[in-house]
Amino acid sequence: MSKNNEKGTSSRGHAGGGPPHMMHGEKPKEFKKTLRRLAGYLKPRKNQLIFVSIAAIFSTLFNVISPKLLGDATTSIFASITKGTGIDFTFLSQLLLILIGLYVLSALFAYLQQYIMAGVSQMTTAELRQAVNEKLTKLPLRYYDQHPHGDVLSRVINDIDNINNSIQQALSQLITSAIAIIGTIIMMLVISPLLTLVALITLPLSAVVIRFIASFSQKHFVNQQKELGNVNGHVEEMFSGHQVVKAFGQEKTSIEKFDEMNDRLYESGWKAQFISGIMMPLMTFVGNIGYVFVSIAGGILVLNRTIFLGDVQAFIQYTQQLSQPMAQAAGIANMIQTALASAERIFALLDEEEERVEERLPVNLDSLDGSISFEHVRFGYDPEKPVIKDLSLEVKSGQTIAIVGPTGAGKTTIINLLMKFYEVNKGKITIDKISLHELSREQVRSMFAMVLQDTWLFNGSIRDNIAYGRSGATEKEIIRAAESAYADDFIRTLPEGYDTILTEDASNISQGQRQLITIARAILANPKILILDEATSSVDTRTEMNIQLAMNKLMAGRTSFVIAHRLSTIRDADIILVMNEGDIIEKGSHDELMNQNGFYADLYRSQFSEKSAG
């Protein structure tokens, strides 16, 4: 586990030269290709699907055989009346018992079918979730910088849920409908091949209707999922920053933007559902045409004494039964298309380029002292637009390096490169003469700990949050780290002490207390190199003093990089790097830079005068 203790360094650093967010439109892949790939996830459960098919055969047995048995009953009664003989109640009783037995068997196997199908769908979607989760850990930070978080969440949650529902409901119903169609056609052929031919005239027309409508609706289903991701992203953004929205009175603007997105979602969803929904009435219409043809042809055959009256009755029922599963198959087509649209988005995520696989360099990291060298480093999030043009820097072990400069100067970018969130385009960065390119990401990040202005604490106990800095830490080590960070006192005043559960965003403790916990976490990690963002800008003076003392203790004897916002806090830094437009324009101690009377001196005096004026 990386000792990168804070979330999304670069994603929060766009103002400091980080990559811009980009909205990507979804490009639908081929229908058949997506279907085959999704079917590949069902392949390991082919035995269960075979059993589901067998259960479907028995569960549809009642529907397939009962019209023929009822037709035989009608023929028997009709023959008894026309011949003047008594009604054969013994025969009718036997038919009734057979029908009851078929009904019980049908219900039993329908239950088994649904039970097994539930397991198949849950295991399949569990595998998909696992594949997506593993993929997310392998994606480079660039992917998250270029994709809204809401869209990523929508793929992981909504799209996989769509697939789960479709496998559970649509696939099961599709199997049942297919078997019902096959069984019904077999029974129709047994009764009368000629009437069967009449009934099946409408099948090609049904296939044309399904194919034609599906080709139009699929693109709208894909667009519906994309717009759903946009809506989710906006809602997540507005709720996470609801205080800022309210503070600046932007509720109306937020609602208007949501309404605009929601209207687009409505439009694409309406088109998808409407076009797909046309299938059902069209299939019903086609089925009714077949029903009329069968009724006319059957009446003629009965008059010619070619077929029994009961068989015509059965055939009419079979015609209705044939149109019903076909209409059902058309009805679930929109569910299947939604699933395939979701699958396209999932597979697009799974096909994203991963971080390259790296092997650990056989080197003892404990023997490294933490000296760092930048040698003619060039880097840009877009290679054509470099953020850092030609950076060279030597940092000795234990030195404190402060990085200052205006927004967009490249301060955060240096941190991204140090942590191997991004690879340099040209030049190299070394730690104790070993290139970062040769070390694995895990090796590099194990030497760093980060304390950022934006704290990140997960939903769990304070003890677990501190222990996140190093796996296997003992209780004594956790408490010692908290004491060193001046966090132990306030933790013990809480009702549950170290067992206090932090809520979402750790809103049940103050900003300063959250920061002290993250410092304790970094102290426990015992890193060789520290990365510190100004962590005292949003707390009271007393807490600021504690945080500053804790940070000084944390920095003692360690190579430290400090992104400075308030220049008064870095007067004691060994080296101050003044950056502007990706270049180091000034370098030296505080006194040296003040004597130069350049960019840094102007910046420092402007902050001091602002403070005095305030």
pLDDT, tens only, 52-92: 888 888 887 777 877 777 777 777 776 776 666 667 777 77
Q: What are the residue boundaries of the structural domains of the chain, listed by start? A: 42-350
pLDDT in the model for residue 8: 38
Q: What is the SS3 assignment for 170? A: helix
Confidence of residue 613 (pLDDT cuts 50, 70, 90): very low
User: 294 with 196: CB under 8 angstroms?
Assistant: no
- Summarize the confidence of residues 289-299 as an average pLDDT: 76
Tell me the whole-structure pTM to 2 decimals.
0.60
pLDDT digits (tens, 9 = 90+) for 261-290: 888 888 888 887 787 777 777 777 777 777
pLDDT confidence tier of residue 443, bands split at 50, 70 and 90: confident
Query: Would you say 178 and 184 are in contact if contact means Cβ atoms under 8 Å apart?
Result: no
Where is 179: in which H helix or E strand? helix 172-191
Q: Which of 61-70, 137-146, 412-421 has the lowest mean pLDDT?
A: 61-70
Q: How confident is the model at residue 520 (pLDDT cuts 50, 70, 90)?
A: confident
| Per-residue pLDDT, 15 | 36
Rounded to whole angstroms, the Cα distance separating 139 from 15 reads: 23
pLDDT band for 612, please (50, 70, 90 cuts). Answer: very low
Select, from the ranges 71-80, 202-211, 402-411, the one with the highest average predicted confidence (pLDDT). Answer: 402-411
Q: Work out the percent of the chain whose per-residue pLDDT is above 90.
A: 0
Q: What is the DSSP letter of 584?
A: E
Query: How many Å apart are CA 23 and CA 417, to the nearest integer?
Result: 24
Fold adopted by 42-350: ABC transporter transmembrane region fold (1.20.1560)
Q: Could you tell me which of 69, 1, 7, 17 has the C-alpha nearest to residue 450?
A: 7
Decide if 515 contacts 547 (C-beta within 8 A): yes
Residues 6 or more apart whose CB falls under 8 angstroms from that of 366 comprise none
